[in-house]
Amino acid sequence: MTPQVVEAHQLTAAEYDRIVALLGREPNYTELGIFSVMWSEHCSYKSSRLHLKKLPTRSKLVVQGPGENAGIIDIGDGYAIAFKIESHNHPSFIEPFQGAATGVGGILRDIFTMGARPIAVMDALRFGPLDKPHNRRTLEGVVSGIAHYGNCFGVPTVGGECVFEECYSGNPLVNVFALGVFRKDQIFYGKATGVGNPVIYVGAKTGRDGIHGASMASAEFTEESKQKRPNVQVGDPFLEKLLLEACLEAMETGAIVGIQDMGAAGLTCSTCEMGSRAGTGVEFDLKYVPQRETGMTPYEIMLSESQERMLLVAEEGREEEVLRVFRKWGLDAVAIGHVTDDGILRVKDHGQVVAEIPNRALADEAPLYDRPHTKAYRPVPMNAPAIPSRPTADAIKSDLIALLSSGDICSKRWIWQQYDHTVRTNTIQGPGSDAAIVRIKETGTSIAMALDGNARYCVLDPREGAKLIVAECCRNLSTAGALPVAATNNLNFGNPERPEIMAQLVESIEGIGEACKFFETPITGGNVSLYNETLGEAIYPTPVMGIVGLMKTAAPTPMHFQTPGRAVMLLGGFGQCDETHFGGTQYAKVILKSLWGLPPALDMDYEMRVQQGIRDVIGAGLAESAHDISDGGFAVALAECCFGPAEVGANVSPSLEGRREIALFHENPSRIIISTSEPERVQKIALEHGVGCAKIGVTMKERIRIGCGSETLLDCALRELKQPWETSLERTLHQP
Amino acid sequence: MKFGVVVFPGSNCDHDAWFAVSNNLGQEAEFVWHDAATVGDVDAVILPGGFAYGDYLRCGAIAKFSPVMQSVRKFAASGGLVLGICNGFQILAESGLLPGVLVRNRGLKFICKPVPLRVETTNSPFTAQAQKGQRLVMPIAHGEGCYIADDRTLDQLEAEDRVVLRYLDNPNGSMRDIAGILNEQRNVMGLMPHPERVTEPLMGSSDGLAILQSMVSFVAQAVTPVLSAG
């Protein structure tokens, strides 16, 4: 094996030596390929594993933590949910439509391979600014791809978020979250147990698509990356739907002992991981693998990432029960080998052994790196620039309109209207809300879920930024009346071999760990996507959190004001913000076109009490509406409260201190706007939790006014704000 | 009464229809597999939404040849009630059980949103419980829901009072704002909006019950399932 061949497989010389030591000999070409994908960053987490161990992973409700296809939480009444988030960043850059589509397909398989029926999908998307045509094309392609796959499969896409930043121009992010439900006694794991049991291949035929996808996803982008289009797989959502139904039906026969989807690293990953988890070996012959093309080599078959395939282990003698179900759904299902007791992955081609590797060497003995990390990369100043004074009502109005029309804040209706978000008739609260809510028909429980990320905060301070994201996600759930119970995370970073990038990763993980421990939302799984760099320029550190909460099934508390004449209250108080902590806000980004200082200050203890307060207020049926303050600060949140179909606005006069721009647009956490007909009772509950809750005004028809003492800071008709907010994205995308 | 819900391999609103009928309407419902030689002893058939056989070709173009559609054809010919929702409407049109065809939305994008509709006739087993001119709000969720037909067909549909529902704010470019139509015998209806998705307050509305409950009342009262035309 020449050094060039080893290098072409993105293995270092030291890693190659380790392979030789583990095998006691030189690997052949097929074996080298197998090692290269299993030891890729994407599959082995070799740079992050050490630090991921710092995350909390247990609670009374956690049935399955990290290490399986998805995490599992007990939701009571004999039911459980499985959920996870996963990235498909690199493929989506190379081919937006198929990259995003297969991203949805991959995470859906992770869910139903455990026996859970997917009932919700959400997406966290990051693109470069839309004034560049190629960013618009990427956005359109990604959204169409998600719609194409999810809509056909029949899973509602119930929410998500979408943010624009220059650093994603050459490296968009597509993170897909999926959640499924099943009976707690019908959970399936990816284990090849039972020596002699048949190993069965089901689903799509294997082709040459996606070979080395996992390795591609573990490298930086160069000018040549677009040439890697053949590395991106093509999705077939109809086939996936058949696979879902067939798998769930086959599981009901009781004849399946283990099952895993073929995702990254395809047949290689599924066979060695299933064997490794069970401490067994797997032996099979490639001649039985259904193939789409002729003349495929063992190397190609083992490394193919053709979509919509599953590997399962059945109980010996009961194969026919399983095969019958797959025949009913018109799918290929073939016994390709069996489980052995020697712990070896033994691949044959027409009887001849072409690869022979201990499963553990592939799945568990992958290199583990404690990469050096120094001070986190921070390409921005600490001190605030001169912030021009714009306290007049005219300036505030035009700044507010600019913020409401900006990419991050404007309505994402153009995106989510392309997603079927009501199929399965469980969606109690869909896109465009603080949290999405789906009910579980079989029980009286509903699941609330929120995705959140804020890379501007994280580039200023990865640790505090990560904590703010966890806090915001939990606040979104609490504002919907749900109790946050568990989390999944997607860590999108640059090249971990650069110590200042590695530091961003380590500090973010530690921040997430600290916050998730505090809010009692253990991490049950997730995904790490590194090498998000193009031509040496890394993306901002972008951890994305997906947190789920539980609540009783009931009509949701809307975020919009419903009735004129209600008291408007600010739970958590107005808060103070200095110029340093103002540098990561949307106001700084959109109006001042600048980034500096530190993210908003978070007091986790206070945040927790605010969240307990809002849950109690909602639980007592006192909130006619509730919406948390986040991007864009108080003024933007108040406007969003007014954008409901009832066209109810508000007249508020909070007591503001300091500069008006900062007071209205700072993004301090721990604040929720409520409308209620019983302000005293709301105040009493807030008091019990030791948090402020001032009545700041009343709702009124069709107008919005913000005053302070004798000053009028804003006074206009709702439609003047709503129209730009609602149509901004469409207008931007339809420009020539 | 008993509803049969047809299940094509790519149907994905089959459970929704089943749940609406059995849970929210309190009626019997059973699934009918796509290769069934008969729809069984049901009083009405629902062709649910989804992507019957993937629909990578024209929507419904393959479903037309499925064994169950031969059974549905026979069932309809004998006067049985057939309701095609979304993909079901596309299949009925492709099968020739309803005139016209559904093509890509005007904006070429999939659209999912609640849309306001007007009930144009109550002279049908599917709307007898509604009021003429009544406004119903139901979600649409389709990429190919733009209804087109030649002028003669459209004129005929209108002359025979066979346009059941019209969009109040046409979302997909359908000719003459048509959202749902009847066959000549008035026992087969196709519509793009999803009544089964709005059958209880938790789903945001119960407007879809107007359609499904009309079917239940019709079957309960029917001495003979043949209606007077026009």
Catalytic residue among B142, B144, B146, B194: B194
Residue B230 pLDDT > 50, yes or no?
no
pLDDT above 90 as % of chain A: 91
Mean pLDDT of B19-38: 96
Tell me which chain B residue has its CA closest to the CA of residue A150. Answer: B12
CA-based nearest distance B113→chain A, Å: 6
Residue A420 touches partner B, C-beta closer than 8 Å: yes
CA neighbor of A649 nearest in space, from A712, A556, A728, A716: A716
Show which of residues 39-58 on chain B sit within 8 Å of chain A, judged by CB atoms.
49-51, 53-56
Would you say A302 and A30 are in contact if contact means Cβ atoms under 8 Å apart? yes
Mean pLDDT of A716-720: 97
pTM as predicted? 0.96
Show which of residues 15-74 on chain A sit within 8 Å of chain B, judged by CB atoms.
none
Beta-carbon count within 10 A of A688 CB: 12
Residue A72 pLDDT > 70, yes or no?
yes
d(CA A304, CA A230): 11
Residue A471 pLDDT > 80, yes or no?
yes
Catalytic residue among A42, A212, A373, A627: A42
Q: Which of B50, B54, B143 sits opposite A154 (nearest CB)?
A: B50
d(CA A311, CA B188): 44
Residue A644 touches partner B, C-beta closer than 8 Å: no
CA-based nearest distance B45→chain A, Å: 19
Q: What is the pLDDT of residues A105-147, one digit of tens each?
A: 999 999 999 999 999 999 999 999 999 999 999 999 999 999 9
Phi, psi of A598 (to 5 degrees): -130, 160
Look at A417 and B202 and tell me if their CB atoms are within 8 Å.
Answer: no
- ipTM of the assembly? 0.95
Q: What residue has token string 């229809």?
A: B17
| pLDDT bracket for residue A536 (50, 70, 90) | confident
Would you say B16 and B10 are in contact if contact means Cβ atoms under 8 Å apart? no
pLDDT for A216 equals: 61
Look at B54 and A423 and tell me if their CB atoms are within 8 Å.
Answer: no
d(CA A429, CA A560): 13
How many residues make up chain B in this entry?
Answer: 230
Q: Which of A147, A241, A439 sits opposite B110 (nearest CB)?
A: A147
List chain B residues with CB under 8 Å of A412.
none
Segment among A40-44, A69-73, A624-628, B178-182 with least mean pLDDT: A40-44
Residue A180 pLDDT > 90, yes or no?
yes
Q: What is the pLDDT of residues A183-210, one digit of tens each?
A: 999 999 999 999 999 999 999 999 988 7
Q: What is the pLDDT of residues B7-27, one digit of tens each?
A: 999 999 999 999 999 999 999
d(CA A276, CA A24): 19
The DSSP H or E segment spanning A638 is: helix A633-641
Residue A386 touches partner B, C-beta closer than 8 Å: no
d(CA A145, CA A156): 14
Look at B110 and A151 and tell me if their CB atoms are within 8 Å.
Answer: yes
The number of helices, as runs of H, and strands, as runs of E, in chain A is 25, 28
Residues A216, A466, A45, A376, Cα dihedral to 10°: 80
Tell me which chain B residue has its CA closest to the CA of residue A558. Answer: B204
Give which of B7, B12, B13 to mutate to test A binding, by max A Cβ within 10 Å.
B12
Residue B110 touches partner A, C-beta closer than 8 Å: yes
Look at A420 and B194 and tell me if their CB atoms are within 8 Å.
Answer: no
CA-based nearest distance B181→chain A, Å: 23
Would you say A472 and A507 are in contact if contact means Cβ atoms under 8 Å apart? no
Tell me which chain A residue has its CA closest to the CA of residue B203. Answer: A428
Look at B16 and A330 and tell me if their CB atoms are within 8 Å.
Answer: no
Q: Is B196 a catalytic residue?
A: yes
| pLDDT bracket for residue A223 (50, 70, 90) | low
Q: Which of B19, B20, B197 sits opposite A422 (nearest CB)?
A: B197
Look at A238 and B51 and tell me if their CB atoms are within 8 Å.
Answer: yes
Tell me which chain B residue has its CA closest to the CA of residue A417. Answer: B112
Residue B41 pLDDT > 50, yes or no?
yes
The DSSP H or E segment spanning A486 is: strand A483-492
d(CA A559, CA A537): 39
d(CA A173, CA A533): 11
Pairing of strands B2-7, B28-33: parallel
Catalytic residue among B94, B120, B144, B196: B196
d(CA A624, CA A634): 19
Residue B65 touches partner A, C-beta closer than 8 Å: no
- Can you state the angle between helices A718-733 and A633-641, rounded to 10 degrees? 100
Q: Is A627 a catalytic residue?
A: no
pLDDT for B229 equals: 44
Beta-carbon count within 10 A of A317 CB: 11
Look at A154 and B13 and tell me if their CB atoms are within 8 Å.
Answer: yes
Tell me which chain A residue has its CA closest to the CA of residue B204. Answer: A428
pLDDT for A214 equals: 62
Residue B201 touches partner A, C-beta closer than 8 Å: yes
Segment among A190-194, A220-224, A397-401, A475-479 with least mean pLDDT: A220-224
Q: Which of B9, B141, B202 sits opposite A423 (nearest CB)?
A: B141
Q: Which of A330, A428, A439 sits opposite B9 (nearest CB)?
A: A330
- Can you state the angle between helices A633-641 and A393-405, rounded to 10 degrees? 70
Residue A560 touches partner B, C-beta closer than 8 Å: no
